[in-house]
Amino acid sequence: MIPIELKAELQGRIAAAVTNREAAVDVMKALQAHYGWLTDEAVVEAAGLLGLSPLQVEELATFYEMIYRRPVGRQVIHVCDSISCWAMGGETLLSHIAALLGVGVGETTADGLFTLLPCCCLGNCGEAPTLMIGDTIFGGVSLEGAAELLDQQRNR
């Protein structure tokens, strides 16, 4: 169950959109922020708010890689695996971070802090290789830089 205030806020956002569907990503992100990930319950709630069927919300939720339909850690690390980053060592970066965290790609650390995911282009090709932690993008990440970034995030 989402708080009444959040519900009212989302209803306002939906009302301001030209079509309900347009607000779907906003609604899913807000519910994800509330629950930590987009739970089955959240999908049904989003459907109720948007006037769509749960399946129609699920179609959108599973299309976008930053909508999480499974539990994730407090911070999600997206490491770009598209062509520019791959050419600049993105693959090595991803496996390096995996080793630093002691998890496989797609897994969450035992302390629940990080989930490591590959992702497609983050639109930061000029500063490849690129990764994103939470909502923050980091470009030109070296292997040493990655270790520092993780430490910073741990100590936040």
CB of 58 to another protein, least distance (A): 5
- Which residues 5-44 are close enough to bind another protein by CB under 8 A? 43
Strands ordered across the beta sheet of 136-138: 114-119, 75-80, 131-133, 136-138
Binding mask 46-65 for another protein (x = CB under 8 A): ------xxxxx-xx--xx-x
- The residue (of 62 and 152) whose beta carbon lies closer to another protein is 62
Amino acid identity for residue 102 in this structure: G
Residue 109 C-beta: closest distance to another protein, Å: 24
Closest separation between CB of residue 126 and another protein, Å?
25
Run of H or E residues at 12: helix 4-16
What b-and-e string marks burial along 36-69, b requiring 16 or more CB atoms within 10 Å of the CB? ebbbeebbebbbebbebeeebbbebbeeeeebbb
Based on CB atoms, which residue is closest to another protein, 33 or 120?
120
Q: Between 31 and 149, name the residue whose CB sits nearer to another protein.
A: 31
- State whether the Cα torsion 80-140-137-151 is positive or negative: positive
CB of 41 to another protein, least distance (A): 12
Query: Which residue lies nearer to another protein by CB, 62 or 136?
Result: 62
3-state secondary structure at position 79 = strand
Q: Which residues bind another protein (CB under 8 A)?
A: 43, 52-56, 58-59, 62-63, 65
